[in-house]
Structure 1
Amino acid sequence: MSMHSKAYIFRQQQLLVDEHFQLPQAARLQHDLYLSENGEIIARDLKEDELVPEGYQLVPIRLLVQVWSRVQFEQASRAVQLLEWRRNHRFCSQCGHSTQQHASQYAMVCSSCGYNQYPRVNPCVITIITRGTDEILLAKNARNKTQMYSLIAGFVEVGETLEYAVRRETLEEVGLHIKNIQYLSSQPWPFPSNLMMAFKAEYQEGEIQIQENELSDAQFFKFDQLPEIPFKGSIAYAMIQHVIHGTPVADDSKEWL
């Protein structure tokens, strides 16, 4: 069996790839995170004092979502989230003792009290809201320095259903009531460890009143008069194309690499 593996090597949110955005083959090290049972796919952190190998570059994974297939990006997303989970759980949250990774599970185990810490994702809802047959609601994030407009999104709070979170986020951010909420699709989004769950809904009533600490603007736009929107590869882009052109939000027919 070869001791070299396809390697996801990260420095924070940047991934080591060659000029064609392909992953390196690397010799396995003791503390590698195995993404496949046989160790053919691994993940590790590139230490701050380690040099980038010749012929390779560190590329933000936000860029890779635009050039890779959905399957490739999801595997990279899984890798970076698991590395961050392991990095952030080196100590037990119950007793403070140091932890070690379980031999066969994604669990950080406390050798003192036995508590296991497993990876967690943060559920988020993202909603495309239509008005009539040719308008969608787009909003500009107050912290975004570009002119890009996107969809209403936010974290699901404890005790909420997804549909309730959709209604609450919409009411909080733009002051509108919506109806006919329908689930569309989902996308892992590793910034840092989110699961985006996509919904569509229809405008019911109300006037736009933006939550100023979150948004700088929100408007209904005609399909043929859209401002700058999120990049291809993001679920927001796919949702907008779905509503306007009828294209699928996600292709679930592909198998994992």
Structure 2
Amino acid sequence: MTSQAQAGSADGAAAAFTQFQLDTDPLLSRATVDRTEIVRDASEGDTTWWSHGRVLLVDARGRAEVTGDDRLVYHSATEFGDRPVPGAILLGVQDRVVYWALRTERDGRQEGWRDLRTAGGLLGDTEAGLLTTAVGLLAWHDRARYCAVCGASTTRIRAGWARRCTGCDHEEYPRTDPSMICLVHDGTDHVLLARQTGWPAERYSVLAGFVEVGESLEACVRREVFEEVGVGASDVRYLGSQPWPFPRSLMVGFAAIADPSEPLRPAAGEIDDARWVRRDHVRAALDADGPVQGLRLPPGISIAYRMLRGWATWPTE
């Protein structure tokens, strides 16, 4: 093969590599139940929706009871009365089963109770989506008890998908805070990883940050990358998203390219370390139970893991 042909082949492989995608859907993005407005409004005040319901109990720290074979534990709605009890929220409907969630005062530290970080990746699509929705909605209700306009107390309406002020009649809807998360690479075989202050030793991940008022998602990517590690990001493109209800974020995933010859300047007090890592090193760390050569990557429940695996395993030919 001539040197010109070799260069063309290398350029083609690099171009293909820059088009990598997530290796699969993020584990918390697998909701399958019907929760449209039509369903929510139809269920409000109709006791038949409650009488055919299953209730998922979630404690104050977002934990639910999980069986030994990784299934959520439900309770018959009629155990709690003949109509929706105060605080119950509709999660959705599937196969004629109506799913509800309810905050419980039980101590979720007992055996068998698990949170999304430990159970989310083990649950099936429907149950992962139900628990993700329940954790996010219940956390919002806990924090939305008073009106942001006049300060009066609020009450649950629309099967738990809104609250109404008892003073000025203002309606509030669940908050979602958008946050960009970006895999920055050099266009070929290196990815930029960072370790936040306070993280365990050897834990590294991609860069992330909250979107500010008046800012587009793409602008947020460029700003956060520069603020966190001091390099410019280009060729920003969308990869996918994942709800992250801790307590109410939506992680919006992107890829971007940066020049590895630019000096890295980790943000003081926020980023302890940042470095470029080879693709084969990332592959080894993804497949290992522990750190590999000082590198431990995010758990499989996170979109960061899906981004890194998609990048590391994307075919270049």
Asked if these proteins are the same fold (TM beyond 0.5), I'd say yes
Is the 2:90–2:160 Cα contact (8 Å) retained in structure 1?
Answer: no
Deviates more, 1:187-196 or 1:225-234: 225-234
* TM score, norm. by length of structure 2: 0.71
* 1-structure distance, mates of 2:89, 2:153: 18
C-alpha displacement at 1:206, in angstroms? 2.6
Normalized per residue, the structure richer in strand is 1
The amino acid across from 1:127 in the alignment is C
Is 1:45 matched up with 2:103?
yes
* 2-structure distance, mates of 1:12, 1:52: 8
Is the 2:59–2:107 Cα contact (8 Å) retained in structure 1?
Answer: no
**Structure 1 segments unaligned to the other structure (5+ residues):** 248-257
* 2-structure distance, mates of 1:188, 1:139: 22
**Structure 2 segments unaligned to the other structure (5+ residues):** 1-47, 283-294
What does residue range 217-236 of structure 1 map to in structure 2 within 5 Å?
217-226=273-282, 227-236=295-304
* 1-structure distance, mates of 2:310, 2:180: 17
- Give 3-state SS (helix, strand or coil) of 1:242's partner: helix
| 1:92 to 1:155, Cα distance in 2 relative to 1, 3 A | same
**RMSD (Å) for aligned C-alpha atoms:** 2.3
Is the 1:126–1:151 Cα contact (8 Å) retained in structure 2?
Answer: yes
Partner of 2:305: 237
- Aligned-residue sequence identity (percent) comes to 30
Is the 2:89–2:159 Cα contact (8 Å) retained in structure 1?
Answer: no
Kindly provide the CA deviation profile for residues 42-88 of structure 1, in whole angstroms up to 9, marking residues without a partner as x: 111121xx36699x621121012332245532331111111011111
C-alpha displacement at 1:164, in angstroms? 0.3
- Alignment length (residue pairs): 244
Is the 2:266–2:273 Cα contact (8 Å) retained in structure 1?
Answer: yes
| 1:35 to 1:232, Cα distance in 2 relative to 1, 3 A | same
Kindly provide the CA deviation profile for residues 205-238 of structure 1, in whole angstroms up to 9, marking residues without a partner as x: 6310000211110000001123211111311011
Is the 1:8–1:76 Cα contact (8 Å) retained in structure 2?
Answer: no
| 1:146 to 1:74, Cα distance in 2 relative to 1, 3 A | farther
Normalized per residue, the structure richer in helix is 2
C-alpha displacement at 1:39, in angstroms? 7.1
* 1-structure distance, mates of 2:164, 2:70: 35
The amino acid across from 1:9 in the alignment is V
Partner of 2:68: 19
- Give 3-state SS (helix, strand or coil) of 2:221's partner: helix
The amino acid across from 1:46 in the alignment is T
